[in-house]
Amino acid sequence: MTSLPIDLATAGVREVLAGLAAGDFTSVELTTAYIERIERISNGGPRLNSVRAVNPDALKDAAESDAARASGSPLGSLHGVPVLLKDNIDIAGMPTTGGALALEHSVPATDAPVAASLRRAGAILLGKTNLTELANYVTEGMPSGYSSLGGQVLNPYDASETPSGSSAGSGSAAATGLAAATVGTETFGSILSPALANSLVGVKPTVGLISRTGIIPISGTQDTSGPMTRYVYDAAAMLTAMAGIDQEDAATADNPLVGTDFRTDFVAALSDTALAGSRLGFLANDGDEVYTRSLALLQARGATLVPVTVAEPVAPLILSREMRRDMNAYLARIPNGPMKTLADIIAFNEAHADAALKFGQTLLIESQGFDLADPATASVYEKLRAGSIEESRGIIDTVLSENRLDAIVSNSGTIQVGAQGGYPSVIVPAGYLSAGRKPTGLLFTGTAWSEARLLALAFDFEQASKAWRTPEEINPSLFRSAVLPSIS
């Protein structure tokens, strides 16, 4: 087994970059160590099943990264850092399956723009994480982390608890240090919820900050990708690399944080004094003792806390109305792909029901029933979409403006309204409940394009709380079956 002078269970992007820069290890050695750790923890040992596939080119890419460093070539902000992407994001030459048997052999010709952006920053695309099948939009009642192709992801903090959300594999993999960072996607809680369940920092950015092209979709209105990491610094570094404007994704055209000659450096925006003088609206939650302590810490750091109520949107979800259109557009990009349309996936599942339909496909069938090429269907959809966005954004912006707030904090209470409005949220580990040591977190939600401010607030809280603990510390019994190397 490869021995490194850092502990991959706790090392983040900053530590990995420092070690590479100091020559303490090479990217090849680091990538090899992560692959061995995946084999021990994801595939063997406690069998978390969080990584679906390792990129066969990862070690070659790592060797090229080492050669560039040795030659003195200009280095990207994530040069040599291995990252894992959720298996609904295209990496050229690797199947993008969404966890679906129907897409097992669906191989894109090019990287998704977000994957290409990470490559340009120097990251090593280590492989793909398992997920809830098709981002948990196959049927009602499917367990989080289950896919017909990849099986069931486990939560490393408690295998009897849900890994939560569709980015379950990214959450489980990041928590156990199977890469320096991971990427998840969210339509409705699928970054924030698994980040909460797996004691991680998760960033659900403003829709349009990051390109969605080359990502298996549910909803062009609500879909986004985002980083899932153990530290706020790592999330900021990842978000800096991932953000970008894409001519194929109209939502990115309004992005004020990325331009031809300018890109927000989210790392530079971090501050351990960001809470001083801030005004934060907070949602009441009497059942979470960690949340109560977190609010007290925010005040101790200089924040003024204002009690607020944030209404749940009453506008209906539009996900089923968009999926057929957006899925068909994605599949049309795959050369010689096994599936051409959503209808093909449904038919494949029906023909292979024993393997593909343990829980059914009610949501796929419902989505297939909405044809936005029909003028009457499209007219109803446009009104519902406009109403959902207007209501959700209005709820958040009204609370922020009327109370002169920097952000709204809760332990999960703004996930829905933020998702429907396409607004950003950052969640950060806050500690562990006394009953069962269940992870809990602090969620910061803001208005559009406020990622830098949210990350700064989260960073200040993180630095003060020092709350995060490894799964091995919180749940040691699960890891007794994994043989882990000692640190030299």
Mean pLDDT of the chain: 96
Q: Single out the catalytic residue among 86, 128, 204, 438.
A: 86
Q: Which pLDDT score is estimated for 486?
A: 46
The mean pLDDT of 119-131, rounded to a whole number, is: 98
Give yes or no for residue 202 having a pLDDT over 60.
yes
Q: Which pTM does this prediction carry?
A: 0.97
Under 8 Å between Cβ of 428 and 461: yes
Helix axis angle for 13-22 and 27-37, nearest 10°, is 140
Give yes or no for residue 423 having a pLDDT over 70.
yes
Give yes or no for residue 487 having a pLDDT over 90.
no
* pLDDT tens digits, 134-168: 999 999 999 999 999 999 999 999 999 999 999 99
Q: Single out the catalytic residue among 117, 166, 388, 412.
A: 166
Report the phi/psi class of residue 83: left, alpha or beta, with left for phi > 0 and alpha for psi in -120 to 50. Answer: beta
* pLDDT tens digits, 92-114: 999 999 999 999 999 999 999 99
For residue 438, indicate whether it is catalytic.
no
**DSSP type of residue 148:** T
Amino acid symbol at 38: I
Q: Single out the catalytic residue among 170, 190, 294, 450.
A: 190
- Among 143-152, 198-207, 337-346, 474-483, the range scoring the smallest mean pLDDT is 474-483
For residue 117, indicate whether it is catalytic.
no
Domains of the chain in start order, with CATH, are: 13-479 (3.90.1300.10)
For residue 73, indicate whether it is catalytic.
no
* Token pair recorded at residue 50: 């969080």
The mean pLDDT of 230-248, rounded to a whole number, is: 97
Candidates 353, 149, 340, 326; CA nearest to 248 is 326
Amino acid symbol at 357: L
Percent with pLDDT over 70 in the chain: 98
| DSSP string over 74-134 | ---TTTT-EEEEETTB--TTS---TT-GGGTT---SS--HHHHHHHHTT-EEEEEE--SHH
At a CB cut-off of 8 Å and minimum separation 6, what does 269 contact?
236, 452, 453, 455, 456
| DSSP string over 220-260 | TTT-EEEEEESSHHHHHHHHHHH----TT-GGGGG-TTB-S
Give yes or no for residue 390 having a pLDDT over 50.
yes
Report the phi/psi class of residue 126: left, alpha or beta, with left for phi > 0 and alpha for psi in -120 to 50. Answer: alpha
With cut-offs at 50, 70 and 90, classify the pLDDT of residue 260.
low
Q: Which pLDDT score is estimated for 287?
A: 79
Give yes or no for residue 315 having a pLDDT over 70.
yes
* pLDDT tens digits, 36-93: 999 999 999 899 999 999 999 999 999 999 999 999 999 999 999 999 999 999 999 9
The mean pLDDT of 381-402, rounded to a whole number, is: 98
Give yes or no for residue 440 having a pLDDT over 60.
yes
Q: Which pLDDT score is estimated for 286?
A: 72
Give yes or no for residue 372 having a pLDDT over 70.
yes
Give yes or no for residue 484 having a pLDDT over 70.
no
CA distance 427 to 195: 7
Under 8 Å between Cβ of 85 and 183: yes
With cut-offs at 50, 70 and 90, classify the pLDDT of residue 263.
confident
* pLDDT tens digits, 165-198: 999 999 999 999 999 999 999 999 999 999 999 9
